[in-house]
Amino acid sequence: MLAILIITIALFIWGKFTPDVVALLSMLSLFLFGILDLTETLSGFSNPTVIMIAALFIIGEGLSQTGWTALAGQKFIKMAGKSTTKLLLITTLGSGLLSGVVSNTGTVATLMPVTISSAWSIGTLPSKLLMPVAFGSNTGGLLTLTGTPPNIIVNNTMLESGMEGFSFFEFALIGLPLLLITLVYFRYIGYRLLPSNKTNNKPVDISTTLHKWIEAYKVDDDYYRLRVRSVSPLLDTTLGQWKFEDKHQVSILRIKRRYPNLLKRNESFIEFPSDDTEFKYHDIITVKGDTEAINALMIRFRLGLLPLEPIADELRNNLINQEVGMTEIIVTPKSTLVGRKVRIGRFFKRFGVQLMAASRNNKAFTDREIVVKAGDAFLIRGIWSDIEQLKAHHENLVIIGSPEGMAKTVTNITHKSYIALFALVLMIGLLVFKIVPGAVAALISAGIVLVSGCVPITKAYKGISWISVVMIAAMIPMGLALQKTGVAQLIASGLVETLGNLHPIVLLGGIFLLTTTFSQVINNSATAVLMAPIVILAANSLNLSATPFMIAVAISASTAFLTPVGTTTNAMVMTGGGYKFKDYVTVGAPLLLLFLITTLLLVPLIWPF
């Protein structure tokens, strides 16, 4: 058992193989050497924690796809300005406070895309922020009784032993000081130790992309917004009756319908009006056409002209949202479009997209109608999923950039955004009030996100960090094997007996060091389950209060700062930050020492021996 443990840690440190492969090799070794049977070996893959982690990734993807993470990123950037230090403190503090009510894994799954996006936006690297977010969430779990599993485990062990448990916010007496120490540490020391790892997870900068399109396609002078007035002949007629493109050389791009229900003063959007679309009073129509054609249209149909925002904002706010996006495509020589006559502004039902603008040889077209040639570039608008389908089914059209990545940068909040937010809030409520087990709460919320269409099934699977999930599932049997073989209890009992005859603070420090050692390589819940009964027996045999020692177990079980496998949160940020095993040791060791010193100083004062 010891040999397998040492080799596993050595392989993690070496970094030759990915963490999930190392964990799987370790798991198989436990079976092949007869330490665990088949059921025990595969127990990690049915563990509720692993299922919960996968569900939390889906919930996080839902928040990302529906605009919340982009919006939160904007708020973070606004508060931080161009200061990396401010952004570091905001994300770390945010993860700490949120993990007091949400699971640590849920917190990191939610904040990871926000943090990555914010880091790139202000000119720094995700590796400078993601580890502080993970460590902040681990520390923030110490703010409440339900903040992290070790808190619940030590509390239940005390109750089962006939002792008084902890109140809901009692852990905050030590959790708040530790969270403040974490902030100060990363502000003045940790930030300098964090690596500058270049990763390929830079999100699409939608603002830069929009300005590039404006310059390349000259789309800044022929977009208008018109309002249907009460005297307009368009009222209660259909779009197809008027043949706007043929007779008026104007394309109808979008209709914003105000007060579609007289009982509710709200708005709706018709993104791609069809010939059957009826015009209603107060409709706001986004149109494309030259100035003369628009003037003639306004006079003919008695339409009011509404002011446009700056064109980049107009495109972002009125033509791009969570459902509808824009991108560029290049026509290849084998494309069926070559030789066809197309009209700019027209919606092509076959492809599910609208042709917004076109250019040839880097020169924008000014004519409304063109004959397509190979190499022509089009700016198209359509449902995000339809644009992705173009990429999948029309191999002779080259899509530039990543429509999926751009979709995540859109901050428009829609009804699906509120569904995704409701799913998160529901999960928090179910967890706080203990209505259902954590894994079930996460699955319910993930199910809502999927069924409501906040995240398509295919994107949901892509959003799960399978390396993290497999690694954790494969490492859970390690904790079981340590307990089953008696190795962990032998080491723990020996250390406690040795230190028990010395000062209680020495015993407190020994318990902290032993617990944190185990938490670096096995699940923190398993560590707490292992240490809690041993600590109570040791305290009782010495006629000391078990409370300060149990608090130390809870704290040290959440200090897995030295390895990427100690906690789920560390594993989750490993790929996003491009971290190596040694990065955790470099950054985590000083923080772990500060936690030890703080525990030895404050715990005996708050909970006397």
Whether residue 99 is contained in a domain is answered as yes
Q: What is the pTM of this model?
A: 0.61
Q: Kindly indicate the confidence band of residue 103, based on its pLDDT and cuts at 50, 70 and 90.
A: low
Residue 401 lies in a domain: yes
Residue 392 has pLDDT above 80, yes or no: no
Q: What angle is formed at CA 480 by the lines to CA 474 and CA 486, rounded to 5 degrees?
A: 140
Whole-number pLDDT of residue 139: 92
Domain count within the chain: 3
User: Which residue's entry shows tokens 């529901």?
Assistant: 426
**DSSP β-ladder status, 397-400 and 363-364:** unpaired
- Whether residue 403 is predicted with pLDDT greater than 60 in this model: the reply is no
Q: Residue 419: inside a domain, yes or no?
A: no
What torsion do the CA atoms of 503, 509, 514, 517 make, to the nearest 10 degrees? Answer: -160
Give a yes or no: residue 438 inside a domain. no
Give the pLDDT band (50/70/90) at residue 548. Answer: very high
Instruction: State the residue for tokens 């628009």.
Output: 294
CA 203 – CA 404 distance, rounded (Å): 10
Domain boundary among 289, 317, 345: 317
Which of 58-72, 137-151, 203-217 shows the lowest per-residue confidence on average (mean pLDDT)? 203-217
Query: Helix, strand or coil for residue 423?
Result: helix
Residues 21 and 123 in one domain: yes
- pLDDT recorded at residue 220: 63
CB count in 10 Å sphere of residue 263: 6
Residue 63 lies in a domain: no
Residues 296, 374, single domain; the answer is no
Domain boundary among 317, 336, 352: 317
CA of residue 338 relative to chain centroid, distance = 41
Q: Is the pLDDT of residue 237 over 70?
A: yes
Looking at the fold, whether 12 and 157 belong to one and the same domain comes out as yes
| Arithmetic mean of pLDDT, 507-526 | 84
The better pLDDT of the pair 165, 451 is held by 451
Please check the confidence at residue 438 and state whether its pLDDT lies above 70: yes
Q: Closest by alpha carbon to 150, among 198, 94, 103? A: 103
Q: Residue 77's pLDDT is what? A: 66
C-alpha–C-alpha distance, residues 84 and 79, integer Å:
11
CB 178 within 8 A of CB 139: yes
Q: Are strands 267-270 and 251-258 parallel, antiparallel or unpaired?
A: antiparallel
Local confidence band at 401 (pLDDT 50, 70, 90 cut-offs):
low
Output the pLDDT for position 149: 77
| pLDDT higher than threshold 80 for residue 293 | yes
pLDDT of residue 407: 53
Structural contact between residues 225 and 298, judged by C-beta atoms closer than 8 angstroms = no
Looking at residue 405, what is its pLDDT?
Answer: 54
Of 441, 469, 400, residue with least CA distance to 54: 469
- Residue that terminates a domain, selected from 388, 407, 426: 407
Give dist(CA 253, CA 554) in Å, integer: 59
**Domain identity same for 313 and 329:** no
Does 481 share its domain with 576? yes
Q: What percent of the chain has pLDDT over 70?
A: 87
The confidence score (pLDDT) of residue 393 equals 58
**Cα 17 from chain centroid?**
26
Mean pLDDT of 501-530: 83
Same domain for 490 and 395: no
Task: Note the pLDDT of residue 267.
Answer: 62
Residues 351 and 287 in one domain: no
The 3-state DSSP composition of the chain as helix, strand, coil percent (nearest 5) reads 60, 10, 30
The residue whose two tokens read 């985590």 is 588
Residue 56 has pLDDT above 60, yes or no: yes
Does 414 fall in a domain? no
pLDDT of amino acid 263: 45
Mark whether 250 and 332 lie in a shared domain.
no
> Which residue is listed with tokens 């590039």?
212
Same domain, 229 and 266: yes
pLDDT band at 535 (very low <50, low <70, confident <90, very high): confident
Q: What average pLDDT does this structure show over 529-544?
A: 80
Per residue in 138-191, pLDDT (tens digit) is 999 899 876 777 887 788 878 878 888 888 788 999 999 999 999 999 999 999
What is the rounded distance in angstroms from the CA atom of residue 438 to the CA atom of residue 317?
38
* 253-280 mean pLDDT: 76
CA distances for 493 relative to 2, 39, 379, 405, 499, angstroms: 17, 28, 70, 53, 10
Half-sphere exposure of 198 (CA within 13 A, CB side): 0
Q: Where are the beta strands (DSSP E) in 442-558?
A: none
460 touches 434 (CB < 8 A): no
Rounded to whole angstroms, how far apart are CA atoms 107 and 52? 13
Residue 463 reports pLDDT greater than 80: no
Residues 182-199 have pLDDT tens digits of 999 999 999 999 998 887
Cα(314)–Cα(512) distance, rounded to whole angstroms? 58
Residue 56 lies in a domain: no
The overall average pLDDT reported for the chain is 82
Q: What is the CATH number of the domain that holds 357?
A: 3.30.70.1450
| Band of residue 395 on the pLDDT scale cut at 50, 70, 90 | low
What are the CB-based long-range contacts (under 8 Å, 24+) for 236-244? 236/278, 236/279, 236/280, 237/278, 237/279, 238/275, 238/276, 238/277, 238/278, 238/279, 239/273, 239/274, 239/275, 239/276, 239/277, 239/278, 239/279, 240/274, 240/275, 240/276, 244/297
| Residue with more model confidence, 76 or 190 | 190
How many helices (H) and strands (E) would you count in the chain?
26, 13
Is the pLDDT confidence value at 260 over 60? Answer: no
Do 249 and 112 belong to one domain? no
What distance in Å separates the CA atoms of residue 368 and residue 344, rounded to the nearest whole number?
A: 5
Q: What is the mean pLDDT of residues 391-414?
A: 62
- Return all residues near 584 (Cβ < 8 A) that are at least 6 apart: 131, 561, 562, 563, 564, 570
Nearest to 522 by CA among 591, 461, 474: 474
Question: Comparing 238 with 540, which gets the higher pLDDT?
Answer: 238
Q: Could you tell me which residues come within 8 angstroms of residue 223 by beta carbon, excluding any fewer than 6 positions away?
A: 253, 286, 287, 288, 308, 311, 314
pLDDT at 70 over 50: yes
Asked if residue 109 and residue 22 are part of one domain, the reply reads yes
Asked if pLDDT for residue 515 goes beyond 50, the answer is yes
- 190-207: string of b/e by CB count within 10 Å (b at 16+)? bbebbbebebebebbebe
Asked if 94 and 194 sit in the same domain, the reply is yes
**314-328, 414-428, 493-507: least confident range:** 314-328
Is the four-CA dihedral 88, 94, 100, 102 of positive or negative sign? negative
User: By residue range, what is the domain housing residue 402?
Assistant: 323-407
Higher-pLDDT residue of 320, 364 = 364
- Please give the residue that has the higher pLDDT: either 595 or 400: 595
DSSP tag of 245: I
Across 104-113, 366-375, 442-451, 534-543, least confident range: 104-113
Which of 79-93, 345-359, 532-546 has the highest mean predicted lDDT (pLDDT)? 79-93
- Residue 319 pLDDT exceeds 50: yes
